[in-house]
Amino acid sequence: MTRTHMRPVPPRLALALTAATVLVATNLCGATVAVADDGPNVPPGTEATASAPVKLDRNDPDLKLPDGATLAAAKVLDIKTVVEDQSGDERREDTNSDVKFALQAEVLFGKDSAKLGAQAKARINAIAEEIKTQNATKIRVFGFTDNLGSSAHGDVLSRQRANAVHGVLEQALNDSNVTYEVRGYGEQYPIADNATEAGRKKNRRVEISFPRGES
C-alpha cells in the first residue's frame, strides 16, 4: 500500500484560495439574479416613441362612405348658460334656441296664495321687455310647487299662479300675434331637493320661456 504525503499549504496561499472560491461563487450566484430596469414600468413594445404615426391610405374603401350615403348636416351643439341672482329669487337660462326665466313664488305671491305682490308686476314687465327684444310670439308660462300638502292642491295653486303671471304678460305685451301656453304642474319636475326648505323654495316657482330671436 502506497501512502501519499500532503505538503502543508502556507497560510497566505490558503487565504488566497478561499478568496478566489468566494469570488467564483459570488459570480455564479449573481448570474441568476434578475436586475431591476431603471426604465419606465410598461410592457415591452409599448414604450412611447417619437416616430411618426402610421400612414393611412386615403383610398382605402373602409374609410369611405358607401355609395349614396351622405354626411349629416353640420349643427352647433346646444350650449346652456345659467345666471342666478345672489338671493336666488330669479334665474335665467339661455340656450341656442330658448330663453327661460324662473321666478320664485315668494317673490311674486304671498304664502299659499295666487295674488301677485306689490313688486311682482315690475319683475314680470322686465321679462316682457326681453320677450319684445327677442321678437318672440310663443310664450310658455308654467307654475310649480313643492311637495308639501296634497298633490291636487299643488296642481290647482300652480295653475292659478301661472294664470296670474300670464295676465300681466298679456297686458304688458298687448300683441294679438303672441300665443300663450299656460300650465300648472304642481310638484312635478322639481329642480332641487324637496327634503330641505332651501330646495323646496327653489321648486316653488313660475317659469316663463320663449324662443330666442324669432322673427
Compute the distance between CA of residue 158 and CA of residue 147 in angstroms, rounded to an integer: 12
Percent over 90 (pLDDT), the chain: 53
Q: Could you tell me the CA-to-CA distances from 181 to 130, 152, 173 in Å, in that order?
A: 18, 21, 15
Query: Using CA of residue 195, residue 109, residue 106, residue 92, what is the dihedral sign?
Result: positive
Q: What is the DSSP letter of 72?
A: P
Give the number of other Cβ atoms within 10 Å of residue 102's Cβ.
21
Q: What is the DSSP letter of 56?
A: -
Residue 82 backbone dihedrals phi, psi, to 5 degrees: -125, 130
147 close to 195: Cβ distance less than 8 angstroms: no
Q: What is the pLDDT of residues 136-192, one digit of tens each?
A: 999 999 999 999 999 999 999 999 999 999 999 999 999 999 999 999 999 999 999
Q: What is the pLDDT of residues 99-142, one digit of tens each?
A: 999 999 999 999 999 999 888 999 999 999 999 999 999 999 99
pTM: 0.64
